[in-house]
Chain A
Amino acid sequence: MDTSKTFRMINRISLQEPSREQAIPLRVEIEALWDDTEKFELDFAGIEFISVSFLDELVAKLFLAYDRQTVMRKVIITNLANEDRILLGNIVNSRIRQRQQMAQPA
């Protein structure tokens, strides 16, 4: 396996409504390619305003589905402002904790 795939957001989403719903097909696509792809680059060049819901749905939810080491090894975020990265970090933290809670026996 030596593949990488780049998702350029500017070509994939409508700036008319940068919502959670727009992120769902992208994440579904990533998950479908997950096992056969080594690296995913999520390129936010040209996107000035992005919603926290979009970032949650596209990126943070990967941390619910997969262990954090795998996600951090496979996924690279590029051209996202530091302020948005910190916001994303916040929701990634929450999703990691949620995954840990889900893994605990009831």
Chain B
Amino acid sequence: MADVTLKFRSNLNTSSLPHLLDLLHQCRAITPGTTVNIDLSNVHYLFPLSACLHWKMIEEIVVRGCDYHIVEAPHSDSAYRQIRRLILDDPKFVGYGKGKIPTIGIREISDASSNTIGEIVELIERAMGGISTGIRRAVSFPLTELLLNVIQHSETTKGNYVCANALPSKRLIRLCVLDSGIGYLNSLRQNPLYSYLDDDLNAIEKSLEYGVSRFPDQTRGVFLDNLVKLIRHNGGQLDIISGYGHLQIVGTIAPKRVRLRLPYQGTIVSLKLRTTKGYTPLLEEWEEGVESWILPKPLG
């Protein structure tokens, strides 16, 4: 059986998504028994999003009964070490310190407990050398909700991953939550109000609106609306990928809609948060009486 080589580009940030999806689809087309060479020799930096997709590829290769070999970088730089550590089956790996890219190893999502959230937040905090309470909440608020969404709504218990990294020098935290579930379009179409949707990108965009969810009344769907407010205030970045759709929000810029050539079956949510800003001033305007009720003591 001939070998197959998957050659990764050097830059694996969000803009490389089509390249990564192309590799993932190649994995799904591999004949059982093939040996796969995963060529990481050009890779200099692995983001949480690319790390999650990389892990997904390995999952696809293994499930087809194929062997794989990692083609390593010729030099022992930090990115190389990062990749080597990530592919070890160590769900709690943390690599941080001088000369290393601080990455919290990929964890399979099995729950959304306070312990799990706390561990991830604590690891980010240690990697950053401390973070403010506001940033702790800016991380824990989406993380809690994203993990709950995977557990409760993705309709799959396998192939769901979370990965994060923290860059103290750039004052950045990145998070990625990837699931192998039904995706935004199939989820929203369960609601008769949105059964007309037939496009992944429109489904993602619709789900960002307040009160929109797969449930027929307007009693849910408050998370993404608030997440977008956080990203806009924080000057961060939110990428939501589902099916053929990729919606990107960067700070206060209008959302960028990208239609993908190859789909991702499931949902990926990637976040970039700046630690220079928290989420405190999320409110645009208080309704009468709410501020003094909710904040009996003024903010310090």
Contact = CB atoms under 8 A, between A and B. Distances in A.
Interface of A: 15-21, 47-53, 56, 60-61, 64, 68-69, 72, 77, 81-94, 96-98
Given A49-B117, A51-B148, A52-B222, A93 B290 contact: yes
Contacts of B210: 94
Contact of A98 (B151, B211, B226, B294): B211
B144 interface: yes
Contacts of A89: 283, 286, 290-291, 294-295
B283 A86 contact: yes
Interface of B: 111-115, 117-118, 121, 133-134, 136-137, 140-141, 144-145, 148, 151-152, 210-211, 218-220, 222-223, 225-226, 229, 278-283, 285-291, 293-295, 299
A8 B258 CA distance: 46
A86 B294 CA distance: 7
B113 A16 contact: yes
A80 B226 CA distance: 18
Given A49-B144, A52-B223, A83 B133 contact: yes
Given A86-B280, A86-B295, A53 B223 contact: yes
B134 A83 contact: yes
A15 B115 contact: yes
Main secondary structure on B side of the interface with A: helix
Contact of B289 (A61, A72, A84): A72
A17 B282 contact: no
Contacts of B219: 61, 64
Contact of B222 (A16, A53, A69, A83): A53
A19 to B, nearest CB: 5
Contacts of B151: 17
Given A17-B113, A50-B144, A82-B299, A93 B222 contact: no
A83 B279 contact: yes
B187 to A, nearest CB: 15
Given A16-B111, A17-B111, A50-B144, A87 B282 contact: yes
B300 to A, nearest CB: 8
B287 A49 contact: no
Nearest to A102: B218
B145 A53 contact: yes
B111 A83 contact: no
A105 to B, nearest CB: 18
